[in-house]
């Protein structure tokens, strides 16, 4: 056997062993990566502490404010693109109209008669309103859960209509209507036109805070 053939035969086992070592290293590295990902998910999504009620309320308030600003921005762009809306002024929107022989009060008149000063009135906490809404929602939840009314209605709704043959009868045995309530805060009256844009204070009398 020539020396070239002997060298080729000797190189073949070395190449196979190098390939096996590379495969083993890649396999071990992949398993370690997968284990780290699973540990991260279990730690932060299963055993992680839930956010507090205050942080959840702040997050919901920020989302509501963002949606309001986005809606106002879209209305502003639409009003700028439509010349018919651009011609309308806030004074025209708030001008009193005669309906069935009577005049509709403007926003300024309403604020004046209710002693509400838009410029100086402090934001309302609405704590009493939050309690009232929470009591109402709690009572509605209790009425819905009484006598398994919700379970029966939901079971009938899921089994009603045409159901595929491979799906057996569905029976709802438990349902949770939640334990949280909406929180309203930092509320104040801001006059806006029909496009949702704040209206500047018109000349004339402003609403004033009623003294004691």
Task: Tell me the sheet residues that pair with 98.
Answer: 103
Report if pTM > 0.75.
no
pLDDT in tens, the chain (212 residues): 555 555 555 555 555 666 777 888 888 888 888 888 888 777 766 666 666 667 777 777 777 777 777 766 776 676 556 555 554 444 444 444 554 445 566 667 777 777 777 677 677 777 888 888 899 998 888 888 888 888 888 888 888 777 777 888 888 888 888 888 888 877 777 777 777 777 665 444 444 444 43
């Amino acid at each position: 056997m020539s020396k070239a053939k002997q060298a080729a035969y000797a190189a073949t086992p070395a190449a196979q062993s190098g390939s096996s070592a590379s495969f083993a290293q890649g396999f071990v590295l992949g398993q370690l990566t997968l284990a780290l990902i699973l540990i991260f998910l279990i730690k932060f999504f299963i055993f992680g502490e839930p956010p507090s009620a205050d942080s959840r309320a702040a997050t919901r308030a920020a989302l509501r404010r963002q949606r309001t600003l986005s809606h106002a921005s879209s209305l502003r762009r639409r009003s700028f693109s439509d010349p018919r809306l651009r011609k309308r002024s806030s004074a025209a929107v708030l001008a009193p109209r005669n309906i069935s022989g009577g005049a509709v009060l403007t926003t300024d008149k309403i604020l004046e008669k209710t002693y509400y000063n838009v410029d100086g009135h402090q934001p309302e906490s609405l704590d009493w309103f939050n309690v009232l809404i929470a009591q109402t929602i709690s009572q509605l939840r209790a009425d819905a859960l009484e006598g398994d009314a919700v379970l029966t209605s939901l079971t009938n709704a899921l089994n009603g209509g045409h159901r595929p043959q491979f799906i057996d009868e569905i029976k709802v045995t438990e349902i949770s209507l939640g334990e949280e309530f909406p929180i309203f805060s930092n509320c104040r009256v801001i006059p806006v036109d029909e496009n949702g844009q704040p209206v500047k204070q018109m000349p004339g009398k402003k609403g004033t805070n009623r003294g004691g």
